[in-house]
Homo-oligomer: A and B are copies of this chain.
Amino acid sequence: MADRKFALGLDFGTESGRALLVDVATGEEVATEVWEYSHGVLDRSLPDGTSLPPDWALQDPQDYIETLRQTVPAVLGASGVSADSVVGVGIDFTSCTMLPTDAEGTPLCCKDEWRSNPHAWVKLWKHHAAQPEADKINETARRRGEAWLSRYGGKYSSEWFFSKVWQILDEAPEVYEAADRMIEAADWIVWQLTGRETRNLCTAGYKAIYDKRTGFVSDEFLAELDPRLEHVIDEKMMRKVLPLGTRAGNLTPAMAELTGLRAGTPVAVGNVDAHVSVPAAGISDVGKMLMIMGTSICHMVLGRDSKPVEGMCGVVEDGILPGFFGYEAGQSGAGDILAWFVRTWTPGEIQGRSAHEYLEKQAARLKPGETGLLALDWWNGNRSILVDTHLSGLLLGATLDTTLADIYRSLIESIAFGTRMIIENFERYGIRVSELYACGGMPERNKLLMQIFADVTGRSIKLARSSQTPALGSAMFGAVAAGRRGGGYDTIYDAIARMGGVRDVTYNPDPANHAIYNELFLEYAKLHDYFGRGANDVMKRLRGLKARQRG
């Protein structure tokens, strides 16, 4: 153990944070520890009882610090690895998860005078209350013919940085005024670890309209949104954006005390959970799409140039790996649709098994098309390629002999059709997708789902080796921050070769099943376009009526 070197990956998720200690030479994961945030997601009220409007989702930054305190000493202790053997630290975060702080980086919500103001807290990625601001950003960008809009699939999201910043300005100008900095949580935690404020290319590129060739969106544009926003980049952000893998700084003595790591340990600039998973899965070239499969699905793929792919979340040069254009797309519902189905429709157990297990077993006995059902996987709206949160789920083909397993299978199939729609859309724009890779919670648990994805897409699927891909990816970037001379690697590609990779198992498409799914996908595509592209906006009208009637 003495001469082995380790890198630490810190992964900050929606409900919990995780530390993972990884052998730099082999990628072996020697210890891991998870900390469930005490406050989790604040979506009904603040800790002091202040209630929150619908669509809000906040977090307490103290939970992130607590994650460091709880997990890092634990992995060192459990593994027996000495702090001196830890060559670098990398972090990844959900994004866009952002907060207002003072000039020293203290979150406004940690100060007594702001504690009851919801806008002083961390706005989590799934905070959806900035839709009016996003709408105006899109309208203004379209009117001005802003070139950057096509880099975001033609639509800037309510989840992203400027939507959230502007919502603070709109609704709580006093908070906006008091904030010296507006910052991604990914960058904030690095600031806490190193004492140095930095901005990383990944969140800047995907969420804050930054491009390494042209820089940030123009002040003119921001001024047209709201004159008070004109100088927000210079006043409350940073123009300097660091490439991924860059050493942001070194661990402060205070953080060394808190974590048990060595003061001076190199820390990489911040990164995003989905993006950092790509190298962890061993992907270092074009043609291989990684699906991060959980409640929703993120689709990441590399390209050699920038194409205006309809409905993608974004394309950023060097945004995933240096030297490539990193493309991101996504499905807003996946595991959460199956979880909804099981939670709503079944008792927790059926015949002594968990309902998921029982349904998977029953559904696996069915052939493609045998359910007679077809679904649109829009329970949580549609991200790519329609970018429309007001769409909703559809189930078609039910008869009096339709069973639970039939529906369960058709829901899985609909999610796979959604991914196929994204793949075909990428290829239509010239971004090749030859092979699929998967990571996240679902691929390990649900073999049927993986086989259906292979059969529907007609592509083989490899599984990332690690069960904690983001944390592994972060550790890899930590090793890069250390550099070869510091016991790590000089490039992320060196790290991929040694530390990333896939498992032995591959899901290969069954040609006969694929042929049936080709038929069904045509039906899916027809319904997709009919309900999603304006021929019949019934889903939106029903949503509108529902909102009206719920008052």
Contacts and interface: CB of A to CB of B under 8 A. Distances in A.
A393 B399 CA distance: 6
Contacts of A399: 379-380, 392-393
A352 interface: no
15 contacts: A340-B400, A369-B545, A370-B546, A370-B549, A371-B546, A372-B543, A372-B545, A374-B542, A379-B402, A380-B399, A397-B543, A519-B545, A523-B541, A527-B536, A527-B538
Contact of A333 (B368, B400, B403, B519): B400
A526 interface: yes
A18 to B, nearest CB: 25
B530 A370 contact: no
A367 interface: yes
Interface string A527-551: 1001100001011011101101110
Interface string A349-383: 00000000000000000011111111000011000
Contacts of A347: 347
A546 B400 contact: no
A336 interface: yes
A528 to B, nearest CB: 12
Number of copies: 2
A542 B397 contact: yes
A293 interface: no
Contacts of A546: 369-372, 397
B392 A539 contact: no
A367 B549 contact: yes
Nearest to A371: B546
Contacts of A536: 526-527, 530
Contacts of A538: 374, 396-397, 523, 526-527
Interface string A487-526: 0000000000000000000000000000010011001001
A25 interface: no
Contact of A516 (B393, B520, B523, B545): B545
A398 interface: yes
